[in-house]
């Protein structure tokens, strides 16, 4: 049985297989001919943090596949009153067919998976956001931006950055990351990515100069400066991230037809200007919609691999 907790656990071939499946599933969905791949299955969805896209896309996704989603907020579960995660895992995984969890520590996901009888999917942790990256890469494929991409990530060295590191280093493309000093990516995740990059041929560049990172990029991306759980640091972060907004002058340094991706929610005139956001709104909202199709593919793939 496989879990989907980080792209670190997946080979290039497996990632591309899921992307192909997502393209097929999206096509079937658009034609109204999606096969009920997960007929009568139940997906438990545990949320310890807020969500718009993750909740809606997983709940609608499992419904479209013929199953049912169960929204479980940690505010309502006994988990919120201190029931151990490993007990929660042993109970819930006897009753549902698959589990998605959005939580803080990556170790919480790992603990749940260790005690689970069914596949577990990360819906974001402080370390990674792997299903988002599947949607992002799917969008790059649809826009023809997956051929020798140069991706520039400008902003906080966070869960999104770490997942970009995994995606680039597994698939073998160029990723340039620019963060302010003190907001660099996690050193051990970077070390993992550099090891994968040696095998795949990926070029990983890390620095503190957003303009240098964006110059000549084919895909530009960023994320909030204040992730969930960091609200009390907002004032300091906003001050430390000055010069990191992706605005029109910054985008002008990228290749002329460069795409701009944002996992959302987007905070205008912090990490991205209103003008850049609206100029790329079609790409951004295709990316958001692709959460639905990419995650259906992840669920179908995990279902197929229960026995392997």
Catalytic sites, residue numbers: 102, 129, 132, 223, 263, 291
* Residue 6 found at the interface with ligand NVA (CB under 6 A): no
Residue 159, binding choice from ligand CP, ligand NVA, none, Cβ under 5 to 8 Å by partner class: ligand NVA
* Residue 290 found at the interface with ligand NVA (CB under 6 A): no
Q: Which residue positions form the known binding site for carbamoyl phosphate?
A: 51-54, 78, 102, 129-132, 263-264, 291
Residue 52, binding choice from ligand NVA, ligand CP, none, Cβ under 5 to 8 Å by partner class: ligand CP
- Residue identified by tokens 């393209």 is 23
Q: Which residues pair with 272 in a beta bridge?
A: 246, 268
| Alpha helices (H) along the chain | 12-30, 53-64, 85-92, 106-115, 130-142, 159-171, 187-200, 210-214, 234-240, 248-251, 274-279, 281-304
Give me the least distance between CB of 10 and ligand CP, in Å please: 19
Give me the least distance between CB of 87 and ligand NVA, in Å please: 26
| Total count of residues recorded for the chain | 308
SS3 of residue 88 by DSSP: helix
Q: Which member of 127, 159, 179, 273 binds ligand NVA (CB under 6 A)?
A: 159
Conformation bin of residue 148: beta by default, left when phi > 0, alpha when psi is -120 to 50 = left
* Residue 166 found at the interface with ligand NVA (CB under 6 A): no
Q: Which residue positions form the known binding site for L-ornithine?
A: 159, 223, 227-228
In whole angstroms, give the CA distance from residue 242 to residue 177. 16
Query: 102, 161, 90, 120: which is closest to 4 by C-alpha?
Result: 120
From the number of C-beta atoms within 10 Å of its C-beta (0-12, 13-18, 19+), residue 210 rates as buried
Give me the least distance between CB of 223 and ligand CP, in Å please: 9
In whole angstroms, give the CA distance from residue 65 to residue 301. 12
Q: Which residue positions form the known binding site?
A: 51-54, 78, 102, 129-132, 159, 223, 227-228, 263-264, 291
Give me the least distance between CB of 132 and ligand CP, in Å please: 5
Closest residue to ligand NVA, Cβ-based? 227
* Residue 224 found at the interface with ligand NVA (CB under 6 A): yes
C-alpha dihedral sign at 29, 146, 205, 217 = negative
Q: Which member of 41, 158, 221, 222 binds ligand NVA (CB under 6 A)?
A: 158
* Residue 263 found at the interface with ligand NVA (CB under 6 A): yes
* Residue 141 found at the interface with ligand NVA (CB under 6 A): no
- Provide the 8-state DSSP code for 228: T
In whole angstroms, give the CA distance from residue 241 to residue 21. 38
Give the residue with the Cβ less far from ligand NVA, 159 or 218. Answer: 159
> Which residues in this chain contact ligand CP in the complex, by CB under 6 A?
51-54, 124, 132, 263-264
CB 155 within 8 A of CB 222: yes
Give the residue with the Cβ less far from ligand NVA, 67 or 130. Answer: 130
CB 118 within 8 A of CB 4: no
Task: Give the footprint of ligand NVA on this chain (CB under 6 A).
Answer: 124, 158-160, 223-224, 227-228, 263
């Amino acid at each position: 049985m496989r879990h989907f907790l980080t792209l670190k656990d997946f080979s290039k071939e497996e990632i591309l297989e899921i992307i192909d499946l997502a393209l097929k599933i999206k096509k079937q969905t658009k034609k109204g001919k999606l096969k009920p791949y997960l007929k009568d299955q139940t997906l438990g969805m545990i949320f310890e943090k807020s969500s718009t896209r993750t909740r809606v896309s997983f709940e609608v996704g499992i419904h479209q596949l013929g199953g049912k989603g169960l929204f479980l907020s940690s505010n309502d579960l006994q988990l919120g009153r201190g029931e151990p995660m490993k007990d929660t895992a042993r109970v819930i995984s006897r009753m549902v067919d698959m589990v998605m969890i959005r939580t803080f520590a990556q170790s919480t996901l790992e603990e749940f998976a260790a005690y689970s009888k069914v596949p577990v999917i990360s819906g974001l942790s402080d370390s990674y956001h792997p299903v988002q990256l599947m949607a992002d890469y799917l969008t790059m494929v649809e826009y023809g931006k997956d051929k020798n991409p140069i991706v520039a990530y400008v902003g906080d060295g966070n869960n999104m950055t770490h997942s970009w590191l995994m995606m680039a280093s597994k698939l073998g493309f160029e990723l340039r990351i620019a963060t302010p000093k003190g907001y660099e990516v996690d050193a051990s995740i970077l070390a993992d990515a550099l090891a994968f990059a040696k095998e795949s041929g990926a070029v990983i560049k890390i620095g503190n100069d957003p303009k240098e990172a964006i110059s000549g990029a084919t895909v530009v991306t960023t994320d909030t400066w204040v992730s969930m759980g960091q609200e009390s640091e907002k004032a300091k972060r906003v001050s430390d991230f000055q010069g990191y907004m992706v605005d029109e002058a910054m985008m002008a340094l990228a290749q002329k037809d460069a795409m701009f991706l944002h996992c959302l929610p987007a905070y205008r005139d912090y990490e991205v200007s209103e003008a850049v956001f609206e100029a790329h709104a079609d790409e951004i909202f295709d990316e958001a919609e692709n959460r639905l199709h990419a995650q259906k593919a992840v669920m179908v793939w995990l279902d197929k691999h229960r026995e392997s």
